[in-house]
């Protein structure tokens, strides 16, 4: 009976217990990591390739080659029939899935040893460049999108004027404007920033307009009966009323900005973290490719948590009980 009661609590929608602590957060990160470890270190789970150690009598194999298990077995059978020495090797995963320890080592290497080709940027330089692009692109989008969104949410006329057309534009994939952006802004950062702006400003307008509309009308009524002018309603009621929700909207939209960034950086002269990842891919350094991808995730997670903490400081009236 008791355990049944405990079980039931798991299904209480928005209930308090259990799983509110850090335990689940840790499990949430650990579980995929463990899965990755298992696939990497337990041979019979996947390991579809053989890394050839010595070719034996084989003419086609060479030490260090990766061949599919079936091809390896067929070759060895042929070698046995011909009476030659068999090839030897170890079961491994494909080259594009490096093991966790290899990625960890690469992570350290990326920060400690200079890039292979002189002139190539370090990992942190690539990341910083990407962050700068995001800051400029998304910053501009906020500057334009948030005020427009609030106006759309506050005034039906503005909403009619702006939102349907925005909704149309939003469906045109921003990267498709790449060639145009290069023609206008050259090949360095200009076109990349403009693509990020284009891709994030439209959803920002629509999301902020919706957030503005969802402000409790009763608060606006209350302000009106307290003698607020239209301007005062907008500045002293609507703005503070929607601020926490807008803050959260922007946190989510920042994620979308990163998604666009990866495509935007391929436009014109490739740069930033996309360049780093692409370059490493060309060298077939997949451990470094993983480092690049994980680094983006870590930067995103970190900024989001910092923004969440700032939000809690800015809006103390949101749950202090």
Partner 1 sequence: MRSEPPFDPIARAARIAARPVVLEARGLGKTYPGAKGRVPALSGIDLAIRRREFVTVVGPSGSGKSTLARILAGLDEHDSGEVLVDGHPVRGPGRDRGMVFQAYSLFPWLTVMGNVMTGPRFAGNGRDAARSIALQYLELVGLEHLADRWPHQLSGGQRQRVAIARALANEPRVLLMDEPFGALDPHTRATLQGNLIDLWFNIPITIIFITHDLDEAVLLADRIVVLGGPDADHAGGWLRETITVPLPVPRTPDVVLSPEFRAVRERLDSLIHPAEPPRPRERIPVYRLAAAGDDVR
How far is it, in rounded angstroms, from Cα 272 to Cα 208? 29
- Of 71-79, 100-108, 157-165, 239-247, the window that binds partner 1 (rule: CB under 8 A) is 239-247
Q: Which is nearer to partner 1, 188 or 229 (CB)?
A: 229
**By the rule CB under 8 A, 238 interacts with partner 1:** no
**By the rule CB under 8 A, 14 interacts with partner 1:** no
| Nearest distance in Å: CB 8, partner 1 | 23
| Nearest distance in Å: CB 276, partner 1 | 43
How far is it, in rounded angstroms, from Cα 31 to Cα 37? 10
How far is it, in rounded angstroms, from Cα 273 to Cα 257? 14
The residue from 62, 226, 301, 306 that contacts partner 1 (CB under 8 A) is 226
Mark residues 47-86: x for contact with partner 1 by CB under 8 A, - for none: ----------------------------------------
Burial grade of 84 (CB within 10 A; 0-12, 13-18, 19 or more): middle
**By the rule CB under 8 A, 225 interacts with partner 1:** yes
**By the rule CB under 8 A, 224 interacts with partner 1:** yes
The 10 Å CB-count burial string (b at 16+, else e) for 224-241 is eeeebeeeebbeebbeeb
Residues in the chain: 321
The residue from 55, 203, 241, 292 that contacts partner 1 (CB under 8 A) is 241
- Of 16-24, 36-44, 139-147, 213-221, the window that binds partner 1 (rule: CB under 8 A) is 213-221
Contact 279, 289 (CB under 8 A): no
For 2, 25, 164, 174, 251, the CA distances from 307, given in Å and listed in that order, are 41, 18, 31, 26, 7
**By the rule CB under 8 A, 237 interacts with partner 1:** yes
- Of 79-87, 109-117, 205-213, 230-238, the window that binds partner 1 (rule: CB under 8 A) is 230-238
DSSP for 75-139? HHHHHHHHTPPPPEEEEE--TTS--HHHHHHHHHHHHHS--SSTTSPPHHHHHHHHHHHHHHHHH
Number of residues that bind partner 1 (CB under 8 A): 24
Rule CB under 8 A: which residues touch partner 1?
216, 218-219, 221-229, 232, 236-237, 240-241, 243, 315-317, 319-321
């Amino acid at each position: 009976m008791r355990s049944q009661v405990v079980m039931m609590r798991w299904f209480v929608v928005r209930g308090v217990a259990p799983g509110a602590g850090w335990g689940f957060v840790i499990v949430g990160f650990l579980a995929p990591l463990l899965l990755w470890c298992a696939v990497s270190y337990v041979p019979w789970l996947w390991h579809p390739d053989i890394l050839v150690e010595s070719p034996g009598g084989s003419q086609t194999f060479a030490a260090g080659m990766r061949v599919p298990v079936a091809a390896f077995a067929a070759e060895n059978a042929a070698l046995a029939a011909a009476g030659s020495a068999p090839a030897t090797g170890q079961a491994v995963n494909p080259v594009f899935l490096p093991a966790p320890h290899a990625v960890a080592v690469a992570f350290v290497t990326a920060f400690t040893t200079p890039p292979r080709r002189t002139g190539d940027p370090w990992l942190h330089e690539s990341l910083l460049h990407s962050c700068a692009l995001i800051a400029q692109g998304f910053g501009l989008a906020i500057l334009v999108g948030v005020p427009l969104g609030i106006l759309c949410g506050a005034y039906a006329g503005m909403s009619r004027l702006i939102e349907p057309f925005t909704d149309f534009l939003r469906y045109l994939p921003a990267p498709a404007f790449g060639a145009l952006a290069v023609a206008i802004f050259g090949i360095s950062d200009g076109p990349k920033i403009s693509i990020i702006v284009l891709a994030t400003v439209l959803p920002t307008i629509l999301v902020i307009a919706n957030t503005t509309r969802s402000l409790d009308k009763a608060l606006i009524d209350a302000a009106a009966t307290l003698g607020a002018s239209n301007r005062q309603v907008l500045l002293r009621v609507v703005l503070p009323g929607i601020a926490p929700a807008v803050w959260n909207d922007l946190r989510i939209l920042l994620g979308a900005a990163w998604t666009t960034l990866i495509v935007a950086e391929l436009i014109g002269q490739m740069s930033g973290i996309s360049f780093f990842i692409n370059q490493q891919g060309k060298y077939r350094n997949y451990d470094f490719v993983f480092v690049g991808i994980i680094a983006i995730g870590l930067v995103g997670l970190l900024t989001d948590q910092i923004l969440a903490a700032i939000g809690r400081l800015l809006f103390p009236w949101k749950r202090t009980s």
